[in-house]
Amino acid sequence: SGVCVHILLLSLLQLLQGNDSEHNSRAKQSKASLEQQIRSASNVRELLSIFNSLDCKLWKCRQKLRYLAGFDTRSRSTRFASPYYDTEILKSIDDEWQKTQCVPRESCVDVAKELGRSTNT
């Protein structure tokens, strides 16, 4: 909530600050548009994205770290994970996976020929 207050204060300061040359209608329209965007923001992420600031990037990073911290690193899926990945092994795994998914279609046709069935079913 401290971040929200900080962002709201920065937003209001940005709206209130202005140059003396901002008396033309274009500047007033952009100011009104910015105010409308701030008022319509329904959460912190939307508010931060209006300004596309460093605060937004930091907030997203903190959210991701919180999400990743929730994973159990002792789970079976990560316990036996390889410390490195060989690109050739990953490519062969991907090729085999694609064959089981019948992608591309030529794989389906080859399997159908072996089984003696039509691929139009």
Residue 17 has pLDDT above 70, yes or no: no
Q: Which residue has the higher pLDDT, 47 or 109?
A: 47
- Output phi, psi for 33, to 5 deg: -65, -45
For residue 20 the two structure tokens come to 């003396």
Q: Which residue has the higher pLDDT, 109 or 11?
A: 11
Residue 103 has pLDDT above 70, yes or no: no
| Per-residue pLDDT at 2 | 65
Q: What is the pLDDT of residues 35-75, one digit of tens each?
A: 888 788 777 777 777 776 677 777 778 778 877 776 655 55
Q: What is the DSSP string of 42-105?
A: -SHHHHHHHHT-HHHHHHHHHHHHHHHHTS-TTSHHHHT--SS--HHHHHHHHHHHHHHTT-SH
pTM beyond 0.85: no
Residue 106 has pLDDT above 60, yes or no: no
Q: How far apart are CA 61 and CA 18, in angstroms?
A: 32
